[in-house]
Structure 1
Amino acid sequence: MTTVPAIEQPATERSAAVPTAAGRPRRRSHSRRAGTPYAFLAPAIVLFVAFLGAPIVYAAYLSLRKVKVSGLGLGSGSRTEIWAGLSNYARSLTDPEFLPSVGRIGAYGLIVVPVMLGLALLFALLLDAGRTKVGGFTRTAIFLPYAVPAVVASLLWGFLYLPRVSPINDVLEGIGVGSPNLLGSSWILYAVANIAVWGGTGFNMIVLYTALKAIPQDMYEAARLDGATEVQIAWRIKIPIIAPSMVMTFVFSLIATLQVFAEPMTLRPLSNTISSTWTPLMKVYRDAFTRDDIYSAAATSVIIALATFALSFGFLKLVGSRAFRQED
């Protein structure tokens, strides 16, 4: 009896016949690599949802609710939360103190944003041009006010604003120059704006100065060979190149302007010209914690958030195509 010898399969057929031995580990390793970025992003996503996303959703929910009081409002079932629709928004927009607070914020922004960004650009250009002998100390001195909390800065400036205790007033009176009442109704807007300019110029200067340091030095050397002055180099080369950074700082400053709260709130005990609704966020604070009307406060907060988004997005659509054209 003869036996039939076993036919040995080629190596390619053996590997094709049993793909699981080599295929599964590769798929697992690929899936692990694909999930690694999400593992690193998970803590930030959780914190964002817990401390920013969820409060926004909850505020939007509260803005559509209100409390219905039955009888005299006594007892456990006398107050019930019901659907309010858009009535809270209508009440916030028709509040006689809302539009004046918006007007003050608009005037405040017209002072703060141009002055702050103009000084930041000027300091960044001077530092980049090498006009200062102590560049490191100068950068730190300009940036240092940004590290001071807004409440502390407001208290410091409030001390300097008080006519009876301010050393500035003593110096001015010593030389025979009268000093204005910076906490009065005519100067309070400029007093609050000065605190914001003093604290925010350093941050914007660092952003613009970092963008300037990224420009190749060859461009400056070529311009100098063509006879360009430092002013011409700054105007025709530096400023157009750092336009995206200027747009970014403008958007940040715009958002901060719409959310101003700490400075006027801290100065309020020092002056009777700052009301409890001097800014929209101060109105939110009054409605929520003084009047115990969290529903109206939530509606005003949503209005401020929508206005911030609309202005920021509108500005980016207006100038973004020109400023970021060189990034494409």
Structure 2
Amino acid sequence: MTATSSSTTARRRFAGAGPWWVPYVFIAPFLVVFAMFLVAPIVVAVVNSLYSQQSSGLGFGGSETVFVGIENYLRSFRDADFVASFGRVLLYGVVQVPVMILIAAAFALLFDSAILRLKRFFQLVVFLPYAVPGVIAALLWGFLYQPSVSPVVQALSSIGIDPDFLAPGSVLWSIANISIWSNVGINMIILYAALQALPRDTYEAARLDGAGELRLALSVKLPMIAPAVLLTTLATIIGTLQLFNEPQVLQTITSNVSSDYTPNMAIYAASTLGSDTHLGSAMAVVLGVVTLVVSLILVRVTNSNPRKEVA
């Protein structure tokens, strides 16, 4: 039997292996879960944002749901505190995102180098904070931020330094510290995994050309894991826009974190404290659109300089 007849027989055997709908049965659970927990909530939020609850009968009757179009979106943009929360997370992200990626990349490159001993132990130490739930991490750091009980504040005070981690000008960076401590480990793992997939003969060629570990890391390794760096940067930016747990916990110990300190907190406050789920839905849609736009801009800027083909 020739190779051509053998491949033809194999294709016929595969084509007759089962009904055409069998593959769809296997992917159906994913499609159902995807529709229920991603598509459906988005559709419900968009529809809900176009309505409002209004009282009838001069306030003495019951309330009714009426169609208001984009009125809830206009209310969102007129809400100075909601708009200010975007400016706050923008400032937060401008500092926190680069610091997060730099620390994660530094750890990944250090663990991938030949100069560090006990790599497994130090990898566990860096990654372990990620295993701590965000709320628990915020509670732990909240304890360390309070002057009356914090051993850190008391130790600094004993040498003449009186820090106030919960002051209006510093509480945002205290929140950033919690986020970096909690999430740098997972970003390090992603970058380290990308480094492990690189061909080792490239390293040897660079070393033969006289490149040291620092030059090797900056000129060879980092450019080759650019897609992984983009992935971690994109995930960190999305996490910044969705900031909620850390400021929500610190709100219980300081008055310098308001109920609408971040967009997510403003949405929560409008939906629960304000009992206006329609306005909260409009705010959620605005936050989703902003997150999408920022992500697309980042991808576009990253891919704006395509590689030129060498003639």
User: What TM-score, normalized to structure 2?
Assistant: 0.91
Q: Which runs of 5+ in 1 are unaligned?
A: 1-24
Measured in 1, the distance between the counterparts of 2:305 and 2:182 equals 29
Offset at residue 226 of structure 1 (A): 1.0
Residue 249 of structure 1 aligns with which residue?
232
Is 1:42 equivalent to 2:65 in the alignment?
no
SS in 1 for 2:53: strand
Cα displacement string for residues 68-93 of structure 1 (whole angstroms, at most 9, x for unaligned residues) = 31114445xx3221111111000001
- Work out which of the residue numbers 182, 189, 198 in structure 2 matches 1:206: 189
Q: Which runs of 5+ in 2 are unaligned?
A: 1-11
Measured in 1, the distance between the counterparts of 2:24 and 2:218 equals 43
Measured in 2, the distance between the counterparts of 1:124 and 1:324 equals 26
What are the residue-to-residue correspondences of 1:248-267 with 2, within 5 Å?
Answer: 248-267=231-250
- Work out which of the residue numbers 7, 13, 16 in structure 2 matches 1:29: 16
Is 1:135 equivalent to 2:91 in the alignment?
no
Is 1:168 equivalent to 2:152 in the alignment?
yes
Cα displacement string for residues 33-63 of structure 1 (whole angstroms, at most 9, x for unaligned residues) = x544433322222111112211110000011
Offset at residue 67 of structure 1 (A): 1.8
Matched residues, number: 298
Residue 22 of structure 1 aligns with which residue?
none
What are the residue-to-residue correspondences of 1:152-231 with 2, within 5 Å?
Answer: 152-174=136-158, 176-231=159-214
Measured in 1, the distance between the counterparts of 2:304 and 2:288 equals 24
Measured in 1, the distance between the counterparts of 2:15 and 2:224 equals 46
Offset at residue 122 of structure 1 (A): 0.3
Is 1:70 equivalent to 2:70 in the alignment?
no
Measured in 2, the distance between the counterparts of 1:117 and 1:313 equals 19
Are the aligned partners of 2:156 and 2:163 in contact in 1 as well (CA < 8 Å)?
Answer: no
Counterpart of 1:165 in structure 2: which amino acid?
A: V
SS in 2 for 1:269: coil
Are the aligned partners of 1:212 and 1:238 in contact in 2 as well (CA < 8 Å)?
Answer: yes
Are the aligned partners of 1:108 and 1:193 in contact in 2 as well (CA < 8 Å)?
Answer: yes
Identity level (%): 41
Cα displacement string for residues 163-192 of structure 1 (whole angstroms, at most 9, x for unaligned residues) = 000011222233x23231101112101100
Is 1:55 equivalent to 2:47 in the alignment?
no
Are the aligned partners of 1:284 and 1:298 in contact in 2 as well (CA < 8 Å)?
Answer: yes
SS in 2 for 1:81: strand
Counterpart of 2:16 in structure 1: which amino acid?
A: S
Are the aligned partners of 1:108 and 1:189 in contact in 2 as well (CA < 8 Å)?
Answer: yes
Residue 7 of structure 2 aligns with which residue?
none
Are the aligned partners of 1:247 and 1:323 in contact in 2 as well (CA < 8 Å)?
Answer: no
Residue 125 of structure 1 aligns with which residue?
109
Measured in 2, the distance between the counterparts of 1:29 and 1:287 equals 57
Distance 1:53 1:270, change over 3 A: same
Cα displacement string for residues 254-289 of structure 1 (whole angstroms, at most 9, x for unaligned residues) = 100000001000100100101111001111011000
Residue 10 of structure 1 aligns with which residue?
none
RMSD: 2.0
Measured in 2, the distance between the counterparts of 1:28 and 1:215 equals 38
Residue 317 of structure 1 aligns with which residue?
300
Measured in 2, the distance between the counterparts of 1:204 and 1:30 equals 43
Which stretches of structure 1, 4 residues or more, deviate above 4 A after TM superposition? 25-28, 321-326
Are the aligned partners of 1:243 and 1:323 in contact in 2 as well (CA < 8 Å)?
Answer: no
Measured in 2, the distance between the counterparts of 1:161 and 1:44 equals 43
Measured in 2, the distance between the counterparts of 1:324 and 1:256 equals 30
Measured in 1, the distance between the counterparts of 2:23 and 2:290 equals 34
Distance 1:129 1:324, change over 3 A: farther
Counterpart of 2:298 in structure 1: which amino acid?
A: F
